Structure 1
Amino acid sequence: MSKLVLDPAVFRADAVPADARMVNEAIIKALRNMPGLWDIPLPKIRRARLENKGTFPLPPESPRARVETIPGPRGPVPVRILMPDGAPKGVYLHFHGGGWTLGSARENDMLTDRIATRCGLAVVSVDYALAPENPYPAGPDDCEAAALWLVKEGPARFGTSRFAIGGESAGGTLSAVTLMRLRDRHGISPFSAANLVAGCYDLRLTPSVRNWGDVPLVLNTTDVKRFVDFYMSGGGSVEDVDVSPLLGRLEGLPPALFTVGTKDPLLDDTLFMANAWMAAGNAAELAVYPGGCHVFISFPGSLTDRALERIDAFLNTF
């Protein structure tokens, strides 16, 4: 059953929990006191994040995690695999965020370890190729290859063909694109659930992105524009449904949980995509959290606790 009815009260200022306000204020203050994101070479930013010298703390490394490689269209693709305590009940294919430019599977150990632990799923988190060194379509090509690898190898490797897919921010975009590629290029729909957190589904930029301005609450308008420019630096068009999945045909996709906060520049992307998903005949749930910043589930607080519990429930029942 789809659950897209929203109470307008979630958008009111007095609906924002006090701890969410404190988190947002701390993020804005920290980012305003840091060198501008675009003043630092991208390789240096990536290295700093993995050395726990980035803007936000690196989560503890999961003892469950091990790194392997799978075949990809341009060479081996690293994947970070986390196993649950017992036999996996299913497999969660995960794509990290970072504007197709930053981020890594390692930086998501807090979220992926939780899914392995709480949901009993094996997690395969993909270190897909990053722009601008490897612009579109390199990233989605790697994600497609990982999905096809899972379909082929998953039953023997993990003892199950129960598969879910998902990711945060750019990872949400890549999840939707991967589902559409498997349907259209390969005639298969092997995933039974999609966990989509604060994705960017229209790279032409939705109103909430265009109107956000320069407030550095994790992400702002300039950041999104720069990420899109880097991602598309090898050619292609933001009008292409393989780039902006909101513009594509969405029929035949799995039930999805869409999660977003009201203080996220990508708010409209989730609101629009969730409704388009349902209008295409797919089951969809929409969870909007008052005061949540971009991918707020990466930060501590009552909103995060609520959102992660709902994600757990969704992934425990697909």
Structure 2
Amino acid sequence: MSKLVLDAAVFSEAAVAPDTRMVNDAIIRALSAIPDRWATPLPEIRASRLAGKGVFPLPPESPRARDETIPGPRGPVPVRIYMPDGAARGVYLHIHGGGWTLGSARENESMLDRIAAVCGLAVVSVDYALAPEQPYPAAPDDCEAAALWLVREGRDRFGTERFAIGGESGGATLSVATLLRLRDRHLMSPFSAAVLTAGCYDLRLTPSARNWGDLPLVLNTHDITFFVNNYLRLQGRADDPDVSPLLASLKGMPKALFTVGTRDALLDDTLFMANAWLAAGNGAEMDVYPGGCHVFIGFVGTIADQALKRINGFLADF
């Protein structure tokens, strides 16, 4: 039986490790030095990040990785595939974060390379269409297409039909939306595990997101609103369960590992979704890390090491 038990002490300042405080302070200093992060055109921000010139460093390129395209509803969808050393014991469909506006598979290279190496999984990371140039429903359409491609091609391409799905931030949102689309539109549940890190599951904004304020600890209230407006620019509605999966029926979802830090503006999204997941009769585990910023697993530190080890263990056992 799954259960979610939290000790209130995890939310206390005393529980925050010194190196976590140092990482958070460094992020705040770096982002505070940029008066208006969104004054620069988005294509320039994306290009700068991919060139390793963004605020956060670009991981080294993995020798395991190769780029391909798969068929999508609006044309080819790029994917980046990482292969394990031996035969793949399963496939992890990864959906990157970035507020549906930024991000790429390449920017998650170290984490995805590690999953392939340590867990013995093939990893397929989806470079879905980004907003505001291609707003909702382009991103979930691409992710749905990638999932259906994996169901069709998994046995021939990777020698397995054992599938997990997951992502970080907006990628966690899209992961849940993909699971719901497969269940409701295609009457299938091919994924047996989900890794959901710091997702935004209610785009109307949960209390932690709404009340966070201006502190630029990776993500603040202004950033979240900016991303939501980009994503829903044309036809999306925040009260649509396809957009805000916390509002959906969650029956028949796979077992999931939810990960979040206590210093994340999207903390409530994970607290609410993990409990809703469990209440719907699904297996759910939730790890809350003291002082962790938004998607803290992308930074150095003891809690990042702990969380990545836990995620790898979850994927190794699914």
| Matches of 2:162 and 2:177, distance apart in 1 | 20
Does structure 1 residue 80 correspond to structure 2 residue 112?
no
State the SS of the aligned residue for 1:166.
strand
TM-score normalised by the chain length of structure 2: 0.99
Structure 1: how far apart are the matches of 2:120 and 2:129? 28
The CA deviation string for residues 226-257 of structure 1, in whole angstroms up to 9 with x for no partner, is 00000000112100000000000000000000
SS in 2 for 1:37: coil
TM-superposed CA distance for 1:142, in Å, is 0.1
SS of corresponding position for 1:43: helix
Q: Could you report, residue by residue, the CA deviation over 1:149-195 in whole angstroms, capped at 9, with x for unpaired residues?
A: 00000011100000000000000000000000000000000000000
How much has 1:35 moved relative to structure 2?
Answer: 4.3
Question: What residue in structure 2 maps to residue 28 of structure 1?
Answer: 28
Displacement of 1:71 in angstroms is: 0.1
Q: Which aligned pairs between 1:7-86 and structure 2 lie closer than 5 A?
A: 7-86=7-86
Equivalence for 2:228 = 228
- Stretches of structure 2 lacking an aligned partner (at least 5 in a row): none
How is 1:187-266 mapped onto 2 (pairs within 5 angstroms)?
187-266=187-266
| Secondary structure class of the residue paired with 1:309 | helix
Aligned CA-pair RMSD:
0.6
SS in 2 for 1:196: strand
Task: Please give the residue correspondences for 1:108-257 in structure 2 after superposition, counting only pairs within 5 Å.
Answer: 108-257=108-257
Residue type at the aligned position of 1:205:
L
Normalised by the size of structure 1, how large is the TM-score?
0.99
Q: Distance in 2 between matches of 1:257 and 1:48?
A: 32
Structure 2 residue matching 1:103: 3-state secondary structure: coil
> How far off is 1:146 after superposition?
0.0
Any runs of at least 4 consecutive aligned residues in structure 1 with deviations exceeding 3 A, and if so which?
none
Tell me the distance in 2 between the aligned counterparts of 1:250 and 1:53: 40
2: CA distance, partners of 1:316 / 1:163: 12
Aligned counterparts, 1:259-274, within 5 A: 259-274=259-274
Asked if the contact 2:3/2:278 (under 8 Å) is kept, the reply is no
Distance in 1, Cα, partners of 2:251 & 2:5: 21
Distance (Å, rounded) in 1 between the aligned partners of 2:264 and 2:143: 25
Alpha-carbon distance in structure 2 between the residues aligned to 1:77 and 1:142: 7
CA distance in 1, matches of 2:35, 2:46: 15
Q: How many residues align?
A: 318
